């Protein structure tokens, strides 16, 4: 299989982010990166050797354990810590998804992803990449308090475009078909309107 599903993309992105981390691309500083890193992506045949054949309960937490993917827009908005964040989130977002990190429980950070109803497979791949990038960075700097979450979100947003462009290119080079990505989702979607009433 040359398309990503939840298990395959988790394997690939965990490996990809750990390689990026070795090159210090994911350090939490305000410097933008001026080039896309050339980090190779595991091929479908390499992932097939690592992918579990049986879907048993996980013993160990993975990056995706902290991601709520395809949640309702209302659920995502309730996860925000302030009205200012809510407004910035709504009016600044031009993508087919919205990603927001928050504290789900007293000691657990979580990343929420809400998708537009018409999000394509590529949009879902981007959203999942963005969510796991943010999750990886939050795990790296754990424990993360509310003020630090905003700082990490800003850094992840700076890194996202060049990193995803590189990931997309390397995925295609490795033989993945991103137009057929199928990631497990809660199944909610929203329609975004720019009308102000």
The values of phi and psi at residue 154, to 5°, are -60, -45
Quick one: which of 87, 83, 82, 124 has its CA closest to 103?
82
pLDDT in tens, 60-71: 556 667 889 999
Do residues 123 and 130 lie in contact, with contact meaning Cβ atoms separated by under 8 Å?
A: no
Quick one: which of 131, 178, 124, 190 has its CA closest to 157?
131
pLDDT in tens, 107-154: 667 889 999 888 999 999 999 999 999 998 888 877 777 778 888 888
Quick one: which of 114, 153, 121 has its CA closest to 137?
153
Phi-psi region of 24 (alpha: psi -120 to 50; beta: other; left: phi over 0): left
Bond prior to 143 in cis (omega within 30° of 0): yes
Q: How many C-beta atoms lie closer than 10 Å to residue 149's C-beta?
A: 21
Distance CA 64, CA 5 (A): 12
Rounded to two decimals, what is the model's pTM? Answer: 0.84
Q: Where do the structural domains in the chain lie, given as residue ranges? A: 6-25+64-180
More confident residue, 167 or 37: 167
Q: What confidence score (pLDDT) does residue 30 get?
A: 44
The packing angle between helices 146-174 and 6-22, to 10°, is 110
Do residues 181 and 124 lie in contact, with contact meaning Cβ atoms separated by under 8 Å?
A: yes
Strands 97-105 and 108-115, sheet pairing: antiparallel
Residue carrying the six token digits 């590529």: 122
């Amino acid at each position: 299989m040359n398309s990503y599903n939840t298990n395959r993309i988790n394997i690939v992105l965990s490996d990809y982010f750990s390689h990026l981390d070795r090159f210090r691309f994911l350090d939490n500083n305000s410097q933008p990166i001026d080039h896309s890193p050339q980090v190779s992506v595991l091929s479908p045949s390499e992932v097939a050797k690592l992918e579990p054949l049986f879907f048993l309960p996980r013993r160990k937490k993975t990056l995706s354990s902290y991601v709520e993917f395809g949640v309702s827009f209302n659920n995502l908005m309730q996860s925000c810590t302030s009205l200012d964040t809510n407004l910035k989130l709504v009016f600044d977002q031009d993508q087919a998804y919205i990603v927001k990190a928050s504290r789900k429980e007293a000691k657990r950070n979580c990343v929420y992803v809400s998708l537009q109803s018409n999000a394509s497979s590529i949009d879902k791949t981007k959203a999942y990449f963005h969510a796991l990038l943010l999750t990886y960075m939050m795990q790296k700097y754990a424990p993360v308090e509310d003020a630090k979450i905003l700082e990490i979100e800003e850094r992840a947003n700076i890194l996202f475009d060049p990193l995803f462009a590189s990931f997309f290119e390397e995925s295609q080079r490795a033989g993945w078909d991103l137009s057929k990505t199928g990631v497990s989702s809660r199944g909610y979607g929203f329609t975004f309107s720019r009308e102000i009433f």
